[in-house]
């Protein structure tokens, strides 16, 4: 398939630049587009064939549901069977923005879009290109992250091109996204609302608006079937994963630096290509040729923004062993550590003093 790659000029009027993309969506085709969180791969949410094509392009298992992107609140009552007050309260505070709500789906949403589930994930993104595309096409856009399944999500046009060129009809390249982590997902169909995926909108922010909200157990612990022993690579469920084997080290800065330096030397001597995921504060303390900085330990927003960039850069550099610091400070700590843990296949080593 020939993929049309279109650069979007953000300082110029958008709807004219999106006419071809809108036409592709209306005709059942696939368009990758930027949102504030990550790039997404979109198709018509009400067209089962479009959803099937999304799964095929990503190489994604078809029981992993897609999120439906909307541009106005009226869409809620079209896509959901019943819309609780909590949904409107959250929408008022956080939409447009990086929050996905799970509601019971209406009959018009095909099971192909929801991975066979009776619930539908709905989000109103704030990125001007995403909003303009939904409006220009008049399509509710089903869209998972625009990466090959299992690989790190994409935060810039080049990432999407690397993963999906030749597999989708069009890629809209509007530069780097502004958040860098996927949306927070909150399930409003359970008796107490549950956060299924931590993201930029925190549990505390949601609780301020609707009261009680809990993390789903799977957010805090790895899934039962992910039977992994720390530092035993190869036999585990991985997501957002770089190609290299990755382990996170947690502890005091001095101890983490000492352990990572010593392991890096040992691995390099064994012929591994070693990469270290460090911070602005610590990067210069490592004796290793490939040290990437996630940002300052005091700036969780910056760390979130660079996380997937760094994981992809390790891949581009052919890194086979990644040693990462733990990034567990600030309101986004839960979301950042969730992605790092998944990327590492939950290989985290807690270092004692």
105 vs 339 by CB, closer to Mg ion: 339
Q: Does 64 bind ligand AMP (CB under 6 A)?
A: yes
When CB distances to ligand AMP are compared, the closest residue is 121
Q: Which of residues 225-284 bind ligand AMP (CB under 6 A)?
A: none
69 vs 131 by CB, closer to ligand AMP: 69
- Cα–Cα distance measured from residue 170 to residue 167, given in angstroms and rounded to the nearest whole number: 9
- Cα–Cα distance measured from residue 191 to residue 187, given in angstroms and rounded to the nearest whole number: 9
Q: Does 120 bind ligand AMP (CB under 6 A)?
A: yes
Enter the tokens of residue 309.
């960039």
The Cα-based distances of 201 to 31, 50, 189, 249 in angstroms read 26, 29, 19, 26
Q: Does 196 bind ligand AMP (CB under 6 A)?
A: yes
Interaction partner, residue 119 (ligand AMP, Mg ion, none; CB < 5-8 Å by kind): ligand AMP
Q: Which residue in the block uniquely carries the two structure tokens 């990086």?
A: 98
- Cα–Cα distance measured from residue 38 to residue 155, given in angstroms and rounded to the nearest whole number: 5
Assess contact for 34 and 130: CB atoms under 8 A.
Answer: yes
Q: Which range touches ligand AMP (CB under 6 A), out of 114-122, 208-216, 249-257, 279-287?
A: 114-122
Interaction partner, residue 157 (Mg ion, ligand AMP, none; CB < 5-8 Å by kind): none
324 phi, psi to nearest 5 deg: -120, 145
Instruction: Spell out the residues 6+ positions from residue 198 whose beta carbon is closer than 8 angstroms to its own.
Output: 184, 215, 219, 334, 335, 338
Q: Which range touches ligand AMP (CB under 6 A), out of 48-56, 119-127, 277-285, 294-302?
A: 119-127
Total residues at interface with ligand AMP (CB under 6 A): 15
CA dihedral of residues 220, 207, 93, 199 (deg, nearest 10) = -10
In angstroms, what is the minimal distance from the CB of 338 to ligand AMP?
12
* Angle (deg, nearest 10), helices 157-164 and 300-316: 40
List of residues contacting Mg ion (CB under 5 A):
145
Enter the tokens of residue 90.
């959250």
Q: Does 287 bind ligand AMP (CB under 6 A)?
A: no
Q: Does 117 bind ligand AMP (CB under 6 A)?
A: yes
Q: Does 182 bind ligand AMP (CB under 6 A)?
A: yes
Q: Does 37 bind ligand AMP (CB under 6 A)?
A: no
Instruction: Spell out the residues 6+ positions from residue 171 whose beta carbon is closer than 8 angstroms to its own.
Output: 3, 4, 5, 6, 31, 32, 146, 157, 160, 161, 164, 165
37 vs 282 by CB, closer to ligand AMP: 37
Q: Which of residues 131-170 bind ligand AMP (CB under 6 A)?
A: 144-145
Residues that bind ligand AMP (CB under 6 A): 64-65, 67, 102, 114, 117, 119-121, 144-145, 182, 185, 196-197
């Amino acid at each position: 398939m020939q993929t049309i790659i279109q650069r979007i000029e953000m300082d110029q009027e958008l709807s004219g630049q999106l006419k071809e993309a809108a036409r592709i969506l209306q005709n059942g085709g696939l368009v990758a587009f930027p949102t504030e969180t990550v790039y997404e791969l979109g198709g018509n949410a009400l067209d089962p064939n479009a959803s099937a094509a999304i799964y095929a392009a990503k190489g994604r298992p078809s029981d992993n549901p897609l999120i439906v992107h909307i541009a106005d609140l009226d869409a809620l009552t079209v896509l959901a069977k019943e819309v609780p007050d909590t949904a409107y309260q959250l929408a008022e505070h956080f939409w447009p923005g990086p929050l996905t709500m799970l509601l019971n789906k209406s009959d018009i949403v095909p099971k192909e879009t929801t991975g066979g589930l009776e619930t539908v994930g709905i989000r109103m993104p704030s990125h001007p290109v995403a909003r303009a595309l939904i409006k220009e096409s008049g399509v509710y856009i089903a869209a998972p992250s625009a990466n090959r399944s299992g690989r790190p999500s994409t935060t810039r046009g080049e990432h999407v091109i690397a993963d999906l060129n030749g597999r989708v009809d069009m890629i809209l390249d509007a530069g780097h996204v502004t958040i860098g982590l996927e949306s927070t997902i909150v399930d409003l169909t359970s008796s107490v609302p549950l956060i299924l995926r931590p993201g930029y909108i925190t549990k505390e922010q949601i609780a301020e608006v609707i009261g009680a909200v809990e993390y789903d157990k799977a957010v805090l612990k790895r899934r039962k079937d992910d039977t992994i022993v720390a530092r035993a690579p190869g036999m585990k469920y991985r997501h957002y994963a770089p190609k290299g084997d990755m382990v996170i080290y947690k502890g005091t800065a001095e101890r983490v630096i000492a352990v990572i330096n010593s392991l890096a030397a040992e691995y390099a001597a064994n012929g591994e290509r070693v990469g270290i995921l460090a911070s602005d504060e610590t990067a210069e303390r490592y004796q290793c040729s490939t040290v990437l900085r996630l940002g300052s330990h005091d700036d969780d927003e910056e760390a979130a923004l660079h996380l997937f960039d760094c994981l992809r850069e390790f891949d581009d550099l052919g890194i086979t062993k990644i040693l990462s610091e733990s990034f567990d400070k600030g309101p986004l700590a839960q979301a950042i550590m969730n992605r790092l843990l998944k990327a590492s296949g939950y290989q985290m080593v807690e270092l004692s003093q």
